[in-house]
Structure 1
Amino acid sequence: MRTLKDQRREEAAKRRSTMSAAARERAAEDLAEWIHTCPFRLEYDVTVAAYVPVDDEPGSTAMLDALLDRGVTVLLPVVPDGDPAPLDWARYTGPASLAPGRWGLLEPTHDRLGVSAIRAASVILIPALSVDKTGVRLGRGAGYYDRTLVGLSAELVAVVYDEELVDSLPAGDHDVAVSWVLTPGSGFQELG
Structure 2
Amino acid sequence: MSDHRNQLRQLIRQRRRLLSQEQQNQAAHNLVDQCMQQAFFQASQHIAIYLSTDGELNTQPLIDALWNAGKSIYLPVLHPFSQGHLLFLHYQKETPMTLNKFGIREPKLDQRLIIPATELDIICTPLVAFDSTCQRLGMGGGYYDRTLAPWFQTKVGATPIGLAHDCQHVDAIPTEAWDVPLPSIITPSQLFTAK
Alpha-carbon contact 1:98-1:106 (below 8 Å) kept: no
Match of 2:192, SS state, is strand
- Is 1:136–2:135 an aligned residue pair? yes
Letter in 1 for 2:78: V
Alpha-carbon contact 1:86-1:144 (below 8 Å) kept: yes
Q: Residues 9-68 of structure 1: CA distance to partner in whole angstroms, max 9, x if unpaired?
A: 01111211211111111111211232321221535x721111111131012311112122
Match of 1:151, SS state, is helix
What is the aligned partner in structure 2 of residue 32 from structure 1? 32
What is the CA distance between 1:127 and its match in structure 2?
Answer: 0.6
Match of 1:3, SS state, is helix
Alpha-carbon contact 1:35-1:67 (below 8 Å) kept: no
What is the aligned partner in structure 1 of residue 97 from structure 2? 99
Q: Which blocks of at least 5 consecutive residues in structure 2 are unaligned?
A: none
Q: Which blocks of at least 5 consecutive residues in structure 1 are unaligned?
A: none
What is the aligned partner in structure 1 of residue 55 from structure 2? 56
What is the CA distance between 1:160 and its match in structure 2?
Answer: 0.8
Distance across 1 between alignment mates of 2:173 and 2:142: 16
What is the aligned partner in structure 1 of residue 193 from structure 2? 190
Percent of pairs with identical residues? 28
Q: Residues 106-151 of structure 1: CA distance to partner in whole angstroms, max 9, x if unpaired?
A: 112462455x711111212111111112221111111110010001
- TM-score between both structures, scaled by the size of structure 2: 0.85
- TM-score between both structures, scaled by the size of structure 1: 0.86
- Is 1:13–2:13 an aligned residue pair? yes
Letter in 2 for 1:4: H
Distance across 2 between alignment mates of 1:164 and 1:65: 24
CA, structure 1 residues 172+34, in 2 after alignment: closer, same or farther (shift >3 Å)?
same
Distance across 2 between alignment mates of 1:136 and 1:84: 25
Alpha-carbon contact 1:42-1:71 (below 8 Å) kept: no
Determine which structure has greater relative contact order: mean sequence separation of CA pairs < 8 Å that are 6+ residues apart, divided by chain length: 2
Match of 2:179, SS state, is coil
Match of 1:104, SS state, is coil
Task: Count how many residue pairs are aligned between Structure 1 and Structure 2.
Answer: 188
What is the CA distance between 1:81 and its match in structure 2?
Answer: 4.0
What is the aligned partner in structure 2 of residue 157 from structure 1? 161
Superposed, which structure 2 residues align to 1:48-127 within 5 Å?
48-81=47-80, 84-94=83-93, 96-97=94-95, 99-102=97-100, 103-109=102-108, 111-112=110-111, 117-127=116-126
Distance across 2 between alignment mates of 1:7 and 1:92: 35
